[in-house]
């Protein structure tokens, strides 16, 4: 069966992470992605290193497979003409320009829908459109600080801390994909496209989930618990003889099995201070101290075996290399390879969207800057070789 989005054409005017993550996902599902980049510099992430492989940024490699790159100077009149012609043929436009830049380039939704009424125009920005902050640049790190995540992340006695990956960018890209797929479904019924306004700030505040609900319904500002959980105990890291492991006791029955079957200590469950989760949260400090003392003399292997035999959620703390070399990662075949024109082979993480009837396509390597400029102009827009040579000589394309 054909890929889920085979035949769908996406014009990708985005760069860095949120937009490219969204369009890569659409490409994984079979859509054709035309990635427009500046002729001299390309996507910002092409220069974000270390790490890099033979001068190519691995950051760029992470978010740009299954795309074709066309290098066009859209600030020029001829460059805008190319983009306009691509808009006329596209199903989806994804961009992350500032609102003022869109107006300057005549690429607002009001303009693009005149060119193509069926176009789904997805705008990804830091703070959304039509508000006083619409022109403020949106960076994941800043949003983690501004939207409360750093205030709830890190050691209680230390500084606020960011997460190790740009997760607000990533979840914004995922939100964009959800909205785009919904808009495609609506277009099947109505024949009309629409505008999608994805703000990193909106995504971040929504992603606060239970933390947001707790504050909004109690008025109490949440605090940091490090690796512990504000509402569940025990739910944190513990040390044993030869390692560190994460323990997530989600209910009172799991706690009972932990005490009786793993630690063989009935006093920890018979004590009214620890019998229920609510009581355990009140007496958190003394219980955690007792549990840590009990774990300290046990080996990681024995602990993991006993915990899993008793269906108690737990896992050892692994490095990234250990995670990818794990038996589970190997069994799920999470690493896929693609042939690259200069690197030979690049390895990426398999799409997590595992559809039985229309699985994601086999990956193609992230493109070199402008690798497909000529072929897109020739095949999609029917430009002649003379037209292409003229545009290249003028510096409009590369």
Establish whether the linkage from the previous residue to 83 is cis, with ω within 30° of 0: no
Q: Is residue 29 included in any domain, yes or no?
A: yes
Question: At 329, is the secondary structure helix, strand, or coil?
Answer: helix
Tell me the pairing of strands 195-199 and 120-125. parallel
Q: List strand residue ranges (DSSP E) for 80-208, in order.
A: 92-95, 120-125, 195-199
Q: Is residue 69 included in any domain, yes or no?
A: yes
Pairwise CA distance, residues 289 & 348, whole Å: 42
Of 254, 284, 318, the last residue of a domain is 318
Pairwise CA distance, residues 220 & 222, whole Å: 6
Q: In the prediction, which pLDDT does 391 show?
A: 98
Pairwise CA distance, residues 342 & 367, whole Å: 10
Based on the domain organization, do 182 and 248 belong to the same domain?
no
Are 186 and 194 contacting, i.e. CB atoms less than 8 angstroms apart?
Answer: yes
44 is catalytic: no
Q: In the prediction, which pLDDT does 333 show?
A: 97
Q: In the prediction, which pLDDT does 278 show?
A: 97
Are 360 and 3 contacting, i.e. CB atoms less than 8 angstroms apart?
Answer: yes
Please check the confidence at residue 1 and state whether its pLDDT lies above 90: no
Based on the domain organization, do 39 and 127 belong to the same domain?
yes
Pairwise CA distance, residues 45 & 63, whole Å: 9
Q: What is the mean pLDDT of the chain?
A: 97
Pairwise CA distance, residues 180 & 350, whole Å: 21
Q: At 241, which CATH number? A: 3.30.1540.10
The candidate with the shortest Cα–Cα distance to 224, out of 148, 169, 279, 140, is: 148
Q: In the prediction, which pLDDT does 365 show?
A: 97
Point out the catalytic residue in the list 28, 169, 202, 271: 169
Rounded mean pLDDT of 358-372? Answer: 97
Pairwise CA distance, residues 243 & 222, whole Å: 30
Based on the domain organization, do 388 and 339 belong to the same domain?
yes
Are 342 and 365 contacting, i.e. CB atoms less than 8 angstroms apart?
Answer: no
Are 31 and 52 contacting, i.e. CB atoms less than 8 angstroms apart?
Answer: no
Tell me the pairing of strands 344-349 and 335-340. antiparallel
Pairwise CA distance, residues 312 & 295, whole Å: 15
Tell me the pairing of strands 52-53 and 56-57. antiparallel
Q: Is residue 285 included in any domain, yes or no?
A: yes
Q: Is residue 304 included in any domain, yes or no?
A: yes
Based on the domain organization, do 314 and 337 belong to the same domain?
no
Please check the confidence at residue 285 and state whether its pLDDT lies above 90: yes
pLDDT in tens, 110-152: 999 999 999 999 999 999 999 999 999 999 999 999 999 999 9
Based on the domain organization, do 172 and 312 belong to the same domain?
no
Q: Is residue 323 included in any domain, yes or no?
A: no
List Cβ neighbours of 246 (8 Å cut-off, separation of 6 or more): 227, 236, 237, 314, 315, 316, 317
Rounded mean pLDDT of 306-333? Answer: 97
Q: Is residue 220 included in any domain, yes or no?
A: no
Q: In the prediction, which pLDDT does 98 show?
A: 94
28: burial class by Cβ within 10 Å (0-12, 13-18, 19+)? buried
Based on the domain organization, do 311 and 340 belong to the same domain?
no
pLDDT in tens, 330-347: 999 999 999 999 999 999
Percent of the chain with pLDDT strictly greater than 90: 99
Based on the domain organization, do 144 and 61 belong to the same domain?
yes
Rounded mean pLDDT of 21-26? Answer: 98
Q: In the prediction, which pLDDT does 117 show?
A: 98
Based on the domain organization, do 84 and 167 belong to the same domain?
yes
How many domains are contained in the chain?
2
pLDDT in tens, 32-53: 999 999 999 999 999 999 999 9
Q: In the prediction, which pLDDT does 93 show?
A: 98
Based on the domain organization, do 313 and 340 belong to the same domain?
no
Of 261, 283, 318, the last residue of a domain is 318
List Cβ neighbours of 201 (8 Å cut-off, separation of 6 or more): 126, 127, 128, 133, 138, 143, 146, 147
Q: What is the pTM of this model?
A: 0.94
Q: Give the domain range for residue 256.
A: 235-318
pLDDT in tens, 42-99: 999 999 999 999 999 999 999 999 999 999 999 999 999 999 999 999 999 999 999 9
At residue 285, φ and ψ (nearest 5 deg) are -60, -45
Based on the domain organization, do 297 and 338 belong to the same domain?
no
Q: In the prediction, which pLDDT does 389 show?
A: 98
Rounded mean pLDDT of 152-181? Answer: 97
Q: Give residue for tokens 């800057």.
A: 369
Based on the domain organization, do 62 and 151 belong to the same domain?
yes
Q: At 197, which CATH number? A: 3.40.50.10540
Rounded mean pLDDT of 317-332? Answer: 97
Please check the confidence at residue 322 and state whether its pLDDT lies above 90: yes
Are 249 and 258 contacting, i.e. CB atoms less than 8 angstroms apart?
Answer: yes
Based on the domain organization, do 312 and 365 belong to the same domain?
no
């Amino acid at each position: 069966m054909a890929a889920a989005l085979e035949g769908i054409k996406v014009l990708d005017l985005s760069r860095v992470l949120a937009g490219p993550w969204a369009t890569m996902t659409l490409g994984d599902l079979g859509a054709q992605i035309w990635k427009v980049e500046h002729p001299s510099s390309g996507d910002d992430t092409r220069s974000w290193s270390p790490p890099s492989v033979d001068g190519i940024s691995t950051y760029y490699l992470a978010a740009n497979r299954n795309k074709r790159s066309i290098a066009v100077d859209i600030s020029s009149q001829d460059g805008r003409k190319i983009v306009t012609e691509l808009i006329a043929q596209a199903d989806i436009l994804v961009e992350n320009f500032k609102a003022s830049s869109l107006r300057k380039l005549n690429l607002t939704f009001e303009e693009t829908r005149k060119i193509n009424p069926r176009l789904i125009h997805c705008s990804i920005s830091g703070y959304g459109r039509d508000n006083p902050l619409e022109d403020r640049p949106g960076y994941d790190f800043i949003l983690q600080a501004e939207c409360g995540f750093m205030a709830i992340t890190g050691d209680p006695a230390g500084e606020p801390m960011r997460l190790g990956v740009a997760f607000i960018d990533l979840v914004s890209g995922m939100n964009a994909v959800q909205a785009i797929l919904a808009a495609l479904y609506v277009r099947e019924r109505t024949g009309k496209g629409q505008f999608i306004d994805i703000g990193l700030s909106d995504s971040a505040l929504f992603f606060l989930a239970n933390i947001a609900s707790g504050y909004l319904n109690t008025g109490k500002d949440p605090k940091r618990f490090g690796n512990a959980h504000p509402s569940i105990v025990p739910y944190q890291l513990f040390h044993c003889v030869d390692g560190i492991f994460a323990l997530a006791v989600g209910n009172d029955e799991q706690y009972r099995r932990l005490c009786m079957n793993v630690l063989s200590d009935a006093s920890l469950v018979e004590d009214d201070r620890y019998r229920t989760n609510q009581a355990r949260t009140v007496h958190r400090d003394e219980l955690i101290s007792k549990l840590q003392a009990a774990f300290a003399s046990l080996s990681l292997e024995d602990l993991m075996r006993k915990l899993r035999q008793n269906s108690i959620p737990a896992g050892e703390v692994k490095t990234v290399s250990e995670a990818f070399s794990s038996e589970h990662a190997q069994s799920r075949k999470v690493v896929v390879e693609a042939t690259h024109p200069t690197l030979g082979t690049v390895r990426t993480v398999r799409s997590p969207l595992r559809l039985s009837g229309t699985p994601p396509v086999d990956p193609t390597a992230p493109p070199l800057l402008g690798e497909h400029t000529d072929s897109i102009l020739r095949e999609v827009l029917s430009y002649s070789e003379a037209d292409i040579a003229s545009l290249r000589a003028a510096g409009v394309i590369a």
